[in-house]
Amino acid sequence: MSESKDKGGASRRSSGGSEAGFGGVLHGLADLIEKLGELADKGTDLSKTGQFGEQKGVSGVYGFSVKVGMGGQGLKVEPFGNIAKDKATGKSVVQEVREPMVDVFEEADHTLVVAEIPGIKLADVHVEVQDDVLTISAEAEDRKYRREVLLPRAYPREKMQITCGNGILKIKCVG
CATH number at residue 145: 2.60.40.790
The mean per-residue pLDDT over the stretch 1-18 comes to: 44
Dist. CA 85–CA 70, nearest whole Å? 32
* pLDDT score recorded for residue 6: 46
Task: For 20-54, write each residue's pLDDT tens digit.
Answer: 455 555 566 566 667 666 666 666 555 555 555 44
Dist. CA 31–CA 7, nearest whole Å? 11
* pLDDT score recorded for residue 72: 58
Whether 42 and 108 share a structural domain: no
Whether 47 and 77 share a structural domain: yes
Dist. CA 18–CA 21, nearest whole Å? 6
pLDDT for 132 beyond 90: yes
pTM of the full predicted structure? 0.63
b (16+ CB within 10 A) / e for 9-25: eeeeeeeeeeeeeeeee
Tell me whether residue 71 is exposed, middle or buried, using C-beta atoms within 10 angstroms of its C-beta: 0 to 12, 13 to 18, 19 or more. Answer: exposed
Task: For 68-124, write each residue's pLDDT tens digit.
Answer: 665 556 777 777 778 877 888 888 788 889 899 999 999 999 999 999 999 999 999
* pLDDT score recorded for residue 42: 65
Residue 7, domain member (yes or no): no
Task: For 156-171, write each residue's pLDDT tens digit.
Answer: 999 999 999 999 999 9
Binned at pLDDT 50, 70 and 90, residue 128 comes out as very high
Enclosing H/E stretch for 29: helix 22-42
Whether 85 and 132 share a structural domain: no
Whether 18 and 89 share a structural domain: yes
Owning domain of residue 80? 13-99
